[in-house]
Amino acid sequence: MADLHNKSVAQLAAMLKNKEVSAVEVATRFLARMGGNPHTAFLDVNSEVTLAQARASDNKIAAGTAGPLEGVPIAHKDIFVTKDFATTAGSKILKDYRSPFDATVVARLRDAGMVTLGKLNCDEFAMGSANENSAYGAVSNPWDTTRIPGGSSGGSAAAVAARLTPAATGTDTGGSIRQPAAFCGITGIKPTYGRASRYGMVAFASSLDQAGPMARSAEDCALLLSAMCGPDLDRDSTSLNVAKEDFSRTLMQPLQGMRVGIPTEFFGQGLASDVRSAIEAALKQLQTLGASLVPIALPRTELSIPVYYIIAPAEASSNLSRFDGVKFGHRAKEFADLASMYEKTRSEAFGQEVKRRIMIGAYVLSHGYYDAYYLQAQKIRRMIADDFQQAFNQCDVIAGPVAPTTAWKLGDKSDDPLANYLADIFTLPASLAGLPGMSMPVGFGESGMPVGMQLIGNYLQESKLLNVAHQYQLHTNHHTQLPGGAA
Q: Is 127 in the site for ligand GLN (CB under 6 A)?
A: yes
What order of strands is seen across the sheet that includes strand 167-172? 42-44, 115-120, 73-77, 167-172, 210-215, 187-190, 437-444, 450-457, 397-401, 259-263, 292-296
Q: Is 126 in the site for ligand GLN (CB under 6 A)?
A: yes
Q: Which is nearer to ligand GLN, 286 or 428 (CB)?
A: 428
Q: Is 89 in the site for ligand GLN (CB under 6 A)?
A: no
Considering only residues 421 to 440 of the shown chain, the ones binding ligand GLN according to CB under 6 A are: 424
Alpha carbon 63 to its chain centroid, in Å, reads 35
Binding window for ligand GLN (CB under 6 A); candidates: 22-30, 123-131, 239-247, 320-328: 123-131
Residues 355-394 vs ligand GLN: string with x where CB under 6 A?
A: ----------------------------------------
Q: Which is nearer to ligand GLN, 128 or 325 (CB)?
A: 128
Task: State the amino acid at position 377 in one-letter form.
Answer: A
Considering only residues 297 to 316 of the shown chain, the ones binding ligand GLN according to CB under 6 A are: 312
Shortest CA distance to 54 belongs to which of 69, 35, 36, 38?
69
Residues in binding contact with ligand GLN, number by CB under 6 A:
13
Q: Which is nearer to ligand GLN, 131 or 345 (CB)?
A: 131
* Residues near 386 by beta carbon (within 8 Å), at least 6 away in sequence: none
To ligand GLN, the closest distance from the beta carbon of 245 in angstroms equals 23
- Dihedral-angle region of residue 133 (phi above 0 means left; psi in -120 to 50 means alpha; beta otherwise): alpha
> Would you list the DSSP string of 279-298?
HHHHHHHHHHTT-EEEEE--
To ligand GLN, the closest distance from the beta carbon of 8 in angstroms equals 25
Catalytic status, residue 176: yes
Q: Is 128 in the site for ligand GLN (CB under 6 A)?
A: yes
Cβ neighbour number for residue 284 with a 10 Å cutoff: 11
- Of the listed 57, 99, 134, 152, which one is catalytic? 152
Binding window for ligand GLN (CB under 6 A); candidates: 14-22, 45-53, 121-129, 158-166: 121-129
Whether 58 contacts 76, CB under 8 Å:
no
Q: Which is nearer to ligand GLN, 247 or 309 (CB)?
A: 309
Whether 265 contacts 301, CB under 8 Å:
yes
- Of the listed 77, 119, 413, 464, which one is catalytic? 77
The one among 116, 152, 458, 471 contacting ligand GLN by CB under 6 A:
152
Catalytic status, residue 7: no
Whether 113 contacts 72, CB under 8 Å:
yes
Binding window for ligand GLN (CB under 6 A); candidates: 120-128, 240-248, 367-375, 401-409: 120-128
Indicate the residue whose CB is closest to ligand GLN: 176
Whether 426 contacts 402, CB under 8 Å:
yes
Residues 156-185 vs ligand GLN: string with x where CB under 6 A?
A: ----------------xxxxx---------
Considering only residues 202 to 241 of the shown chain, the ones binding ligand GLN according to CB under 6 A are: 204
Whether 426 contacts 172, CB under 8 Å:
no
- Percent helix, strand and coil across the chain, each to the nearest 5: 40, 15, 45
Q: Is 396 in the site for ligand GLN (CB under 6 A)?
A: no
To ligand GLN, the closest distance from the beta carbon of 152 in angstroms equals 4
To ligand GLN, the closest distance from the beta carbon of 160 in angstroms equals 17
Q: Is 404 in the site for ligand GLN (CB under 6 A)?
A: no
For residue 43, give the H/E element and its range.
strand 42-44
Burial 38-71 (b: 16+ CB within 10 A, else e): bbbbbbbbbbebbbebbbbbbebbeeeebbbbbb
Residues 23-42 vs ligand GLN: string with x where CB under 6 A?
A: --------------------
Q: Which residues pair with 76 in a beta bridge?
A: 119
Q: Which is nearer to ligand GLN, 152 or 192 (CB)?
A: 152
Query: Which ranges constitute the DSSP H helices of 195-291?
Result: 218-228, 273-288
Catalytic status, residue 152: yes
Q: Is 129 in the site for ligand GLN (CB under 6 A)?
A: yes
3-state secondary structure of 365: coil
CA angle 172, 88, 408 (to 5 degrees): 50
Active-site residue numbers? 77, 152, 176
Judged by the rule CB under 6 A, the positions of this chain that interact with ligand GLN are: 126-129, 152, 172-176, 204, 312, 424
